[in-house]
């Protein structure tokens, strides 16, 4: 289990400064976002040589790019928005291997038109599932020629809102290019903390063999997301379940301010 971090935790004017900050944290694994190289996370086009330059700058600092973020709202109620997101994702997928990773992370989305991480009452409708499923299937068709694996994350505010929904998505698409990011904090709301052991065990039973990445943040009883070690998530149980999979899964810190990084790193390393 290798500990890493979202590179966006260290916002800097230049990519080199961000990578320097990641290296200075003592972590050697990161999840990358193309916005750190200037422009949007999912651009219209990627300048020739940019992906290779990112890879080279990371290598100079002995940093591993475990995955790159390719999130857009795959269940947006407007088909035109979904189509635009898919087209931009295709641009990112084509450049991912040159950037040094073959894992691109997804968001299964929400019916909320303004925020892909916000819950909406229509998320559990058959129509939302149908649109999300079509988006993921189309993305897989784009990923396959480049040898890229797509990794979605069950998140209680999205259409795939549980481990059971994640298992359903895997079973319906049955693609070797589709895998899972697990984030224990995203499987729990505040009241769920009283039965988090049961929820986490079920998640690993359903998805443990499909994991390529794990995220590390924390959740409080009031539902607030906080830095790892500052909430009520049972990290001992979470890390034990990760270890029991036998998979070499990077554990990526996020959802924290850079000032909180040393404390969260120390907390996780103690465990």
Residue 263 CB partners (closer than 8 Å, separation 6+) = 227, 229, 230
* Over residues 98-124, mean pLDDT: 96
Mean pLDDT calculated for residue range 195-219: 97
Assess whether pLDDT exceeds 90 at residue 191: no
Q: What are the structural domains of the chain?
A: 3-270 (3.20.20.150)
Structure-block tokens of residue 113:
């038109």
What pLDDT score was predicted for residue 178? 98
* Dihedral angle computed from the Cα positions of residues 126, 128, 129 and 135, in that order, rounded to the nearest 10 degrees: 140
**Whether the predicted pLDDT of 98 surpasses 90:** no
Average pLDDT over residues 34-55: 92
Strands 149-152 and 251-253: unpaired
pLDDT score, position 189: 85
190 pLDDT exceeds 90? no
pLDDT of residue 48: 87
What would the mean pLDDT of 206-213 be, rounded to a whole number? Answer: 98
Contacts of 109 (CB under 8 A, 6+ apart): 72, 73, 74, 75, 76, 116, 132, 135, 158, 159
d(CA 198, CA 203): 9
Task: For residue 6, give the DSSP letter.
Answer: E
The DSSP code sequence of 109-132 is: --S-SS-TTS--GGGGSHHHHHHH
Average pLDDT score over residue span 75-79: 98
Say if residue 99's pLDDT is above 90.
Answer: no
Beta-carbon count within 10 A of 24 CB: 11
- Whether 30 and 5 have beta carbons less than 8 Å apart is answered as yes
Task: Report percent pLDDT > 70 for the chain.
Answer: 100
The rounded radius of gyration (Å) of the Cα atoms in the chain is: 18
What's the pTM?
Answer: 0.96
């Amino acid at each position: 289990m290798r500990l890493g971090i979202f590179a966006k935790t260290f916002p800097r004017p230049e990519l080199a400064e961000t990578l320097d900050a990641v290296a200075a944290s003592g972590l050697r694994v990161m999840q990358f976002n193309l916005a750190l190289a200037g422009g949007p996370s999912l651009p219209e086009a990627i300048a020739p040589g940019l992906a290779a330059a990112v890879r080279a700058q990371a290598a100079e600092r002995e940093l591993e790019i475990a995955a790159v973020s390719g999130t857009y709202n795959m269940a947006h109620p407007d088909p035109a928005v979904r189509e635009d997101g898919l087209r931009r994702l295709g641009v990112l997928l084509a450049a991912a291997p040159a950037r040094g990773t073959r894992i691109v992370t997804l968001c299964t989305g929400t019916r909320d038109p303004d925020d892909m991480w916000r819950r909406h009452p229509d998320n559990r409708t058959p129509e939302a599932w149908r649109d999300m499923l079509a988006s993921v299937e189309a993305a897989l068709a784009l990923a396959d020629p480049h040898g890229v694996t797509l990794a979605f994350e069950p998140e209680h505010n999205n259409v795939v809102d549980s481990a059971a929904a994640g298992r359903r998505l895997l079973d319906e698409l049955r693609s070797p290019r589709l895998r899972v990011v697990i984030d224990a904090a995203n499987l729990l709301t505040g009241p769920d903390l009283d039965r988090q052991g049961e929820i986490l065990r079920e998640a690993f039973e359903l998805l443990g063999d499909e994991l390529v990445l794990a995220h590390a943040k924390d959740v409080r009883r009031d539902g607030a997301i906080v830095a790892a070690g500052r909430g009520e998530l049972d990290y001992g149980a979470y890390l034990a379940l990760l270890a029991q999979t036998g998979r070499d899964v990077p554990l990526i810190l996020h959802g924290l301010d850079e000032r909180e990084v040393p404390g969260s790193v120390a907390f996780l390393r103690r465990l």
